[in-house]
Structure 1
């Protein structure tokens, strides 16, 4: 037996609405779910057509930021410009041995590496 896919990765956030505004409004992810649950608001977002969603969870007060996620974008320059327009500090895009990438943190300190798709 083995794990065949990952459906959800939890991102700890302090304010779910602020996180939704950033992840959907700035990064362009689509809302997959926004429902009440026994733990709190079950709010998830994902790139259109993606198998894995990000759960924007605020009910873990002692949870540290996830550390880092790696994502892909077809246009790093446009993404970097959009992030900067919304006040996000961005490193790059830079050319690395494996290709182009940019680095940034979401408003809760979760780190993102985005590579050129």
Structure 2
């Protein structure tokens, strides 16, 4: 085996403080690191108990938003309601041949697919 784990996925954001409010405050992810970094902050979040982190990076202004990042949630209806309460357009939840899913974009245009956990 050459690669044993995916540790971090870089998510481009224009404003790290706003990203923190969204990812921790709205999505409920926990902050793993929030340290000074020469180009901003090394700011990572992850689901409680999860191993893979999201690096909320503002120092790549030309990096296009990512799309199709697949995550899981135990209650898609609850998540959809919470997203909508915070002004986020959410598509679904909908039944698909592979299971239930919910689609949304963060405030920076990054696209997420949420599957039923």
> TM-score, with normalisation over the residues of structure 1?
0.97
Within 5 Å, give how 1:1-117 maps onto structure 2.
1-117=1-117
| Deviation, structure 1 residue 115 | 0.5
Shift of 1:102: 0.4
Q: What is the root-mean-square deviation in Å for CA atoms of aligned residues?
A: 0.8
Q: Which ranges of structure 2 fall in alignment gaps of 5 or more residues?
A: none
Deviation readout 1:1-49 (Å, 9 max, x if unpaired): 5010011000000000101100000000000000012232100000001
- Any unmatched runs of 5+ in structure 1? none
After the TM superposition, which parts of structure 1 deviate over 3 Å for at least 4 consecutive aligned residues? none
